[in-house]
Chain A
Amino acid sequence: ETGVTQTPRHLVMGMTNKKSLKCEQHLGHNAMYWYKQSAKKPLELMFVYNFKEQTENNSVPSRFSPECPNSSHLFLHLHTLQPEDSALYLCASSQDGSSPLHFGNGTRLTVT
């Protein structure tokens, strides 16, 4: 039990598809995050939600659309992606601004 659950674990999609990544945390945390992890690159922060409000959009292209309906759930809606968007997408949560991140297992996304 990781406390942060991501589904699906793997996803293959075409450039014209629409799909969604789901993240759920069972830790009672107030903040949730999306990170992108590509080969040979450091983790890139994409979005931050604090008490369901988006507080950070790190210059992410509009083909990525986050949604946070409540403090426990976070989605990443994907549409018209590019092959360079293939990566491991990690969801994380934290209790507050001084707490470490708790990560999910990630979704391995492949765009064909």
Chain B
Amino acid sequence: GIQVEQSPPDLILQEGANSTLRCNFSDSVNNLQWFHQNPWGQLINLFYIPSGTKQNGRLSATTVATERYSLLYISSSQTTDSGVYFCAVIAPNAGGTSYGKLTFGQGTILTVHP
């Protein structure tokens, strides 16, 4: 099946700093989503971005599908940005057995200090 690798595994920042998180995937994808898991365990949708660039406030994301990677940019980080960031993908359906299955990376643990 498709492999998803995220880097870095851990990131520690001071409030106000910028950061870039990376997600590499091993095959073409129909779906790529970025999530933020907050300290209470909730998974919050950040972006649905199988290709192209999107921005939402201080966050933006770019997916270069032909090169099989996606980047999540966080600018002017705040302590509330702390948590785990996941990238998840769905490969084109092969044989019907993985229809709709999101495959997650291992996540990047972000800690923002005041």
| Interaction A to B | no
